[in-house]
Amino acid sequence: MTASTNIETAGRSDWFTHDRFGLFIHWGLYTLGARHEWLKSREFMSTEQYDKYFRRFDPDLYDPELWAQAAADAGMNYFVVTTKHHEGFCLWDSELTEYKATRTPAGRDLLRPMVDAFRARNMKTGLYYSLLDWHHPDYTVDVKHPLRYNSEYVALDRERQFQRYVDYMFGQTRELLTNYGQIDLLFLDFSIAAEEGFPGKGKNEWQSEKFVQMVRGLQPNILMNDRLEVQGDITTPEQYMPKEWVKVDGRPVVWEACHTFSGSWGYYRDEESWKSVDMLVKMLIESVSKGGNLLLNIGPTGRGEIDERALDRLKGIGAWMRRHSRSIYGCTAAPEGIESPDDCRFTYNPVTNRLYLHVLSWPFKTIHLKGLAGKIEYAQLLNDASEIRMKQGARQSTMTAGAFSEGRDAGTVSLSIPVKKPDVAVPVIELFLKPGLF
């Protein structure tokens, strides 16, 4: 038993810890600014100034079938889309606001065809909903608000009725969880600490407990993240790689790292810090080797397309996944006590009892696995199912008169690997373990 099969969550997490790899989508009005999804706040813009994007939002090339296909081809099993980001703009036809896609030149509900397209490819549905809202008139000013330094706007906080915003947030979530079929995951973003003299917003302000109750009442199996400041089902470290299985209060949790391709979440035309396919594949492996998931983000353009740089990465990941998804799906951290060799990461499938050795940097001819002598039945490269021959224990070579054991001891297995690295982003060696060991 590994921790991933032990962790209890209020929602249904078995599909989640099996599927491991999902697509995050950030798409909204900020896409037209093309310089970060926080631009309204970073540039202290008023809603009137920001309105130029609302009036021109016209994704004429939007085809969610292409998005869903690109994600499926990359090996992704679920998606999470920003139904509303901090700017407050809604991709769906909410009855509670006019600040929505149907009122822009787009003129339609953009969420529904997306949900349909991903579901048609057997992907699970996740919705992101921003707790912050820089458009709603009753949303009070905090340290993240675009008009935090506008004293007139701040002064009006006295007249704002935050409860009206909370009702709106509850009402919109109710719409999303009622009108779009089964929703598997809800990603809420985020609670704000008090800072610079502004009060924070957390579980009391969001009325998180009541909120969670409503959500679970509408979608009993749904998984929720924990940014509401109350216990959620999943923890979502963002833009960093946890150094071990993520723990909350000392206990391992179900977790998912979310990452961008280039630094920002929304489409950013001029950003140059794009990660390579190799790095992204390694990040996926790294997450699963620590018992977690990876949610990788795209920021489609204002025309409604996934831009070439993102498509290129998705294709590269897909090429690797086609041959290696067996070391990702249904896998988790290696059983306790199995020590990974230098420059390698293990994942383990407890159902098939196979261990996967991911070789991040290809060494010369031999990989030594400590403590696994007598425990492996068979080994092969995953990309082409070619046998990897093994030497077990401390038997010494007779090549020279002296002892020559390649540094092995009785408990070590040595894998004889080809001199040439297989032509894949990260080669994987599949180890079939003897039954009943773990």
Closest distance of CB 273 from ligand GLC, Å: 16
Query: Residue 92 or residue 346: which is nearer to ligand GLC going by CB?
Result: 92
Please state, in angstroms and rounded to a whole number, the distance separating the CA atoms of residues 78 and 63.
18
What are 9's two structure tokens? 């969550």
Question: Judged by CB under 6 A, which of 62, 168, 190, 211 binds ligand GLC?
Answer: 190
What is the closest distance, in whole angstroms, from the C-beta atom of residue 266 to ligand GLC in the complex?
7
Q: Which is nearer to ligand GLC, 141 or 428 (CB)?
A: 141
Q: Which is nearer to ligand GLC, 79 or 190 (CB)?
A: 190
Q: Distance between CA atoms of 419 and 69, rounded to whole angstroms?
A: 37
Which spans in 124-273 are helix H? 151-155, 162-179, 203-206, 208-218
Minimum distance, C-beta of residue 302 to ligand GLC, in the bound complex (Å): 17
Please tell me whether residue 167 adopts helix, strand or coil conformation. Answer: helix
- Smaller CB distance to ligand GLC: residue 146 or 427? 146
Q: How far is the CB of 135 from ligand GLC (least distance, A)?
A: 15
Tell me if 30 contacts ligand GLC by CB under 6 A: no
Backbone angles phi, psi at 245, to 5 degrees: -50, 130
Identity of residue 147: L
Instruction: Tell me the CA distances in angstroms from 234 to 49, 187, 336, one per residue in order.
Output: 37, 9, 22
Encoded tokens for 89: 């703009």
Judged by beta carbon, residue 19 or residue 256, the one nearer ligand GLC is 256
Report the relative pairing of strands 354-359 and 124-130 from DSSP bridges: unpaired
Q: How many chain residues touch ligand GLC (CB under 6 A)?
A: 8
Q: Find the distance separating the first CA and the last CA of the chain, reported in whole Å.
A: 7
Of residues 245 through 284, those in contact with ligand GLC by CB under 6 A are 258, 265
Among 4, 25, 30, 37, binds ligand GLC (CB under 6 A): 37
Stretch (H or E) spanning 258: strand 254-260
Q: How many Cβ atoms from other residues are within 10 Å of residue 70's Cβ?
A: 18
Return the CA Rg of the chain.
25
Instruction: Please say which residue, 32 or 431, places its beta carbon nearer to ligand GLC.
Output: 32
Exactly one of 157, 167, 175, 238 binds ligand GLC (CB under 6 A); that residue is: 238
Site for ligand GLC in 330-389 (CB under 6 A): none
With CB under 6 A as the contact rule, the residue among 19, 189, 205, 256 that binds ligand GLC is 189
Identity of the residue, 45 or 258, whose beta carbon is nearer to ligand GLC in the bound complex: 258
Count of CB atoms situated within 10 Å of the CB of 35: 17
| Chain residues that interact with ligand GLC, rule: CB under 6 A | 26, 37-38, 189-190, 238, 258, 265
